[in-house]
Chains A and B, each alone.
Chain A
Amino acid sequence: MSGGPAVRVSIESSCEKQVQEVALDGTETYVPPLSMSQNLAKLAQRIDFSQGSDSEEEGGEGEPRDREWGKQEQEEEEGTVKFQPSLWPWDSVRNNLRSALTEMCVLYDVLSVVKEKKYMALDSVMKDKNPFTICQTPQVFQLISKKKSLATAAQLLLKGAEKLSKSVAENQENRRQRDFNSELLRLRSQWKLRKVGDKILGDLSYRSAGSLFPHHGTFEVIKNTDIDLDKKIPEDYCPLDVQIPSDLEGSAYIKVSIQKQAPDIGDLGTASLFRRLPKPKPGTQTWHVKLEAAQNVLLCKEIFAQLSREAVQIKSQIPHIVVKNQIISQPFPGLQLSISLCHSTGERKNHRASPEKPKPDDHLYVLEHNLHQMMREFHKQQLSSVVMPHPASAPFGHKRLRLAGPLAYDKAEISSLQQNEGLLEKIIKQAKHIFLRSRSIQLQLNIGVEQIRVVHRDGRVITLSHQEQELQDFLLSQMSQHQVHAVQQLAKVMGWHVLSFSNHVGLGPVESIGNASSVTVASPNGEYAISVRNGPESGCKVLVQFPRSQTKDLPKSDAIQEAKWSHLRGPYKAVHWSRMEGRNFVYKMELLMAALTPGP
């Protein structure tokens, strides 16, 4: 209250330090007080950083991920300490510390991205000073970046392609281990197959292509199980085999030939000469070769059946003869056309045909090919949509023929609708044409609209314009050449030797049309020689060379001692061709040659 004597009050803090131990003599050992940092640590331990006022949900989880940051170990304690209001003064400390940590983490991340570029890379963001230059990277940079990306893409593709080519090569290597199913798939891609019960049957006939031949053409696919796995698998092993009908085995072809003289009656029906089969392409399966051969046999049989049916049914002036596997007809008197089906089963070699040397092959491949083509065309006609009936209930048949009833066609109209020419007649016509062509002259004139085209026998094609003089000139030149050719042929027939022959001689007067041609032939005993020079304009000039002994004035010479030299041919003498006897050039020439050939 009011002044009294001041009392000295001394304040003494309580014992700050804790007593650690009391010694026996009463000395007290104190626990050393905490230093500044220790005190701070102790206080900081009380702060729960995970329970910050601004902490997000991920804050607590995001931080444990960064293991390298040492201070994290404190926060991993998963403090269950609740928010302590007594730590309010430390709240700002905690928040600042936390934001500092965040910043450091970000900085660390950025640095690692910049340094390592493992998962992310820096990409510059252009300051857009000008809105029009936003995406304008320099051209070089674009090029380089495109190049790089293309290179990467190409690398990938190449890798893939390598893998593919490796697998393809492997596949080809494993060909021997092909299994039945993959072979079956391959077979199915080329031939018609169907399953009947537990058998796999196929159809190799042309029926689905329009043929009406009643052969079933069924083949069976069987598994090839007679393979010894211990032994080495043979080169051409195939796990699949086909069994073809027994009458289609082997191979066949149709032989068409024209003979000038009729063979003996006894020779009929024996045409069974065989030609070598073409070698199958390497890589084709045995079943494919077999099936193709069987199909060919079937087609040949159908063609021959059709021809023989027509030969018997069609009435012609000279009846056709059908003997066993041969059809014989006579297109022209003295000319014989024989069509035969040559079928060899291949098992037994043709021992009866091989001893004799095969005759020169007069087989006309063209006609055989034509027969095949015509048969296939006939098949195709069967399938044409002209045959489909409208209305649908009507029977099959040609559309126009169905109109015959309602439109009351008479016999002439109906017969014109029918196919009146069979296979046999067509082939006979073609044979006749071939025969005539081989005997006729060498030119063929195609008269068109603007120009005339001349086709020569040896393949030359000449185009002439509308001026008739050109055609005339051309024909004249051809005529002169033809005459010279005729002399050549005649020489062959008469036994004279051709010494020289030229289609276009360079000697003598120049022709205005074409070129002159010449030939020199010598008599069989060499004594005489005939030279012919024939030009379109200059006409025909024939010279005969006589032996020296027949000339009047022989030049005497000391060098020639013996008499035999006088048999050599000497000077030439011209022939008055216009005064020669004979109807035409060939007759005259023949007469001259005959005159100069001394008799026996």
Chain B
Amino acid sequence: MEAPPVTVMPVTGGTINMMEYLLQGSVLDQALESLLHRLRGLCDNMEPETFTDHEQVYLLKGQQGNPFILRARRSLSHPTAPWHLRYLGQPEVGDKSRHALVRNCVDVAASHSLPEFLNEMGFRMDHEFVANGHIFRKGVMKVVVSKLSRILVPGNTETAERLSLSYLVELSVLAPAGQDTVSEDMRSFAEQLKPLVHLEKIDPSKQRH
């Protein structure tokens, strides 16, 4: 019996080739209320949604220089929700006029045995943190205002110590490759938040130490 033919071409299209458009900024704790108020008015009319997530970052060190990074995230406020595994590629070096950071993004929902699976595959956890805050949406745009906390005892999410006195604000859109109007919409939305928070594209590779 022959094995069924296996295609050797990479799978393209569908949800595999999604790009994430990202703008980031931060606000101090004192300014949080006014920012939330503003977002409540600008974004879609829903009940405000809070979240508490625990994210672990796994690295696979190969022979070459750059390790392969995967992010595994679970919700602490909804324990039955599936884990979310995410791969973020390198930011695209397109024209400088593009207003948002664009990078390849692969999102997979996973069951609760994800950490063991990753460990078996050879990934090692690099760091973990707890994020809690608010999430808003406007059409396809997602605004996440989160406070990051460091986990002191590995594995114990109760004892988490705040990393800073500010909140991280992220505006992101998940869209198929090639849609450039998305960054225009993001920019105009960021304009409306201007005096409260400045959202801009921050290249993570430049932050590395």
Chain B residues with CB below 8 A from A406, complex form: 82-83, 109-112
Q: Is B205 an interface residue (CB 8 A)?
A: no
| Nearest-Cβ distance from residue A473 to partner chain B, whole angstroms | 55
Are B51's CB and A392's CB within 8 A? yes
Cβ of A212 and Cβ of B49 under 8 Å apart? no
- A402 — which chain B residues lie within 8 A by C-beta? 81-82, 109
Asked whether, in the complex, the Cβ of B47 is within 8 Å of the Cβ of A395, the reply is no
Q: Identify B73's interface contact among A393, A395, A404, A405, CB under 8 A.
A: A393
Which B residues touch A403, using CB under 8 A? Answer: 82, 109
A: contact size bracket: 20 to 34
CB-defined interface of A394-433 with B at 8 Å, one 1/0 digit per residue?
1110010011111100000000000000000000000000
A383 within 8 A of partner (CB): yes
Taking the complex as formed, is A194 at the interface, i.e. its CB lies under 8 A from any CB of chain B?
yes
A-B contact pairs, 18 of them (CB 8 A): A208-B44, A385-B46, A388-B135, A389-B135, A390-B75, A390-B81, A391-B74, A391-B84, A392-B53, A393-B55, A393-B71, A393-B84, A394-B73, A394-B109, A396-B140, A399-B81, A402-B109, A405-B108
B192 within 8 A of A: yes
Contacts of A207 in B (CB 8 A): 44, 138-139
- Report yes or no: B192 in contact with A194, Cβ–Cβ below 8 A: yes
A554 proximity list for chain B (CB < 8 A): none
Q: Give, as a whole number of angstroms, the nearest-CB distance from B37 to chain A.
A: 15
Q: Is A331 an interface residue, CB under 8 A from the partner?
A: no
Which single residue of chain B is at the shortest CB-CB distance from A209? B45
The 8 A-B pairs at the shortest CB distance, nearest first, are namely: A406-B111, A390-B75, A390-B78, A391-B73, A391-B53, A394-B84, A406-B82, A391-B75
- CA A405 to CA B84, docked complex, whole Å: 11
Is B109 a contact of A405 with CB atoms below 8 Å? yes
Cβ–Cβ < 8 Å partners of B137 in chain A: 387-388, 396
> In the complex, which residue of chain B has the Cβ closest to the Cβ of A207?
B139
Contact with B along A363-390 (1 / 0, CB 8 A): 0000000000000000000011101111
B144 at the interface (CB under 8 A from A): yes
The minimal Cβ–Cβ distance linking B113 to chain A, given in whole angstroms, is 9
A385 to B109, Cβ gap below 8 A?
Answer: no
A208 contacts B45, C-beta separation under 8 Å: yes
Q: What are the interface flags for B18-44 relative to A under an 8 Å C-beta threshold, 1 for contact and 0 otherwise?
A: 100000000000000000000000011
- In the bound complex, what is the Cα–Cα distance between A392 and B137 (angstroms)? 11
Given A390-B77, A391-B75, A392-B53, 5 new contacts (CB under 8 A): A388-B137, A391-B84, A396-B142, A406-B83, A406-B112
Q: Which of the four size classes fits the interface of chain B?
A: 35 or more
A405→B44 contact, CB < 8 A = no
- Minimum C-beta distance from A396 to chain B (A): 7
- In this assembly, does A210 line the interface, its C-beta being within 8 Å of a C-beta of chain B? yes
Are B53 and A388 interface neighbours, CB within 8 A?
Answer: no
Name the distance in Å between A169's Cβ and chain B's nearest Cβ: 35
A306-324 residues at the B interface, CB under 8 angstroms: none
Interface positions of B from 171 to 199, Cβ below 8 Å from A: 174, 192
Q: Is B201 an interface residue (CB 8 A)?
A: no
Which residues of B (130-175) have their CB < 8 Å from a CB of A?
A: 131, 133, 135, 137-140, 142, 144, 146, 174
Q: With A388-B137, A405-B82 in contact, is A395–B44 under 8 Å at CB?
A: no
A393 to B55: give the CA distance in the assembly, Å.
10
Our pick among B44, B75, B107, B144 for the contact of A210 (Cβ within 8 Å) is B44
Determine if A392 and B45 form an interchain contact, defined as CB atoms under 8 angstroms apart.
Answer: no
Q: Does B124 contact A (CB under 8 A)?
A: no
Interface string of A494-518 (1 = CB under 8 A from B): 0000000000000000000000000
Chain B residues with Cβ below 8 Å from A387 are: 137
Which chain B residues numbered 1 to 19 have a C-beta less than 8 Å away from chain A?
Answer: 18
List B contacts of A399 (CB < 8 A). 81
**Which residues in window 44-103 of B have CB below 8 A to A?**
44-47, 49, 51, 53, 55, 71, 73-75, 77-78, 81-84, 86
Whether B107 and A383, one on each chain, are in contact in the complex, defined by CB atoms closer than 8 angstroms, is no
Residues of B within 8 A of A194 (CB): 192
B53 CB contacts on chain A under 8 angstroms: 390-393
Residues of B within 8 A of A383 (CB): 44-46
Residue among A210, A394, A405 having the largest count of chain B Cβ atoms under 10 Å? A394
Bound Cα distance A403, B71 (Å): 18
Q: A194-B192, A208-B138, A390-B77 are in contact. Are A395 and B107 (CB under 8 A)?
A: yes
Contact with B along A195-212 (1 / 0, CB 8 A): 000000000000111101
Min CB–CB distance B173 → chain A (angstroms)? 10
Evaluate whether A388 and B49 lie within 8 angstroms (CB atoms) in the complex, with A394-B84, A396-B137, A405-B82 already known: yes
Chain A residues whose C-beta falls within 8 Å of the C-beta of B174 in the assembled complex: 395-396
Q: Considering the complex, give the chain A residue whose CB is closest to the CB of B145.
A: A392
Contact B45 A405 (CB under 8 A): no
Proximity string of chain A (345-358) to chain B, C-beta cutoff 8 Å, 1 when within and 0 when not: 00000000000000
Assess the A393–B46 pair: CB atoms within 8 A.
no
Q: How far is the CB of A290 from chain B (nearest CB, A)?
A: 24
Question: In the bound complex, what is the Cα–Cα distance between A355 and B86 (angstroms)?
Answer: 65
| Bound Cα distance from A393 to B53, whole angstroms | 9
Which chain A residues lie closer than 8 Å to B86 at the CB level? 393
Closest CB in chain A relative to B56 CB, distance in Å: 11
A396 CA / B49 CA spacing, docked (Å) = 14
A394 to chain B: which residues have CB within 8 Å?
Answer: 73, 84, 107, 109
Q: A402-B82, A407-B111 are in contact. Are A391 and B51 (CB under 8 A)?
A: yes
User: When the two chains form their complex, are residues B110 and A405 in contact, meaning their CB atoms are under 8 A apart?
Assistant: yes
Q: How far is the CB of B42 from chain A (nearest CB, A)?
A: 9
A389 to B83, CA, bound (A): 11
